[in-house]
Amino acid sequence: MSFVEFQEAGPSLPPSVFDDKAEFIRVVRRGVPGVVIRDAIHSMGESRELRELFITLLETTSGNLHRYYKRAALSRADSEEVLDTLRMLHHACEVFDDLATTRDWLTCPIPALAGETPLALSDTFQGRKMVMEALRKIEFGEFS
């Protein structure tokens, strides 16, 4: 699945939000609609690991995650965490251009990430930065 398909199947965010830093900031300040979380999980194939990641990011429980879906706008801190995570997912979808391959890569231990899975590292800003660096290296053929 390409990101265009990911976007069509899921989150309703401005298309430029992941490439335009000013747009990213505007969306964070407005607050990301909670439904974006549900749509992202759904569009990635109802991944248990992705659901767990959002539970960790939002510091909630599995039973309370659905309450976030109903929020008109997440807090600025939650919006930034969610949007940065979606930016990483967007980039992974672009690099692999296939939903199954993207999901496999996100949930597979990667030697370049100290044997961690990309999703396991994605609960922190620094972890997402490491995942993005690995994706860029794959994109430019530095390693697979």
d(CA 66, CA 54): 11
**Residues 110-130, mean pLDDT to the nearest whole number:** 95
Q: What is the pLDDT confidence band of residue 125, given thresholds at 50, 70 and 90?
A: very high
Reply yes or no on whether the pLDDT at 10 is more than 50: no
Reply yes or no on whether the pLDDT at 51 is more than 60: yes
**The pTM is what?**
0.88
d(CA 37, CA 12): 10
**Residues 46-54, mean pLDDT to the nearest whole number:** 89
Q: State the sign of the Cα–Cα–Cα–Cα dihedral 39, 21, 57, 47.
A: positive
Reply yes or no on whether the pLDDT at 88 is more than 90: yes
pLDDT at 43: 84
Is there a contact between 40 and 46 (Cβ–Cβ < 8 Å)?
no
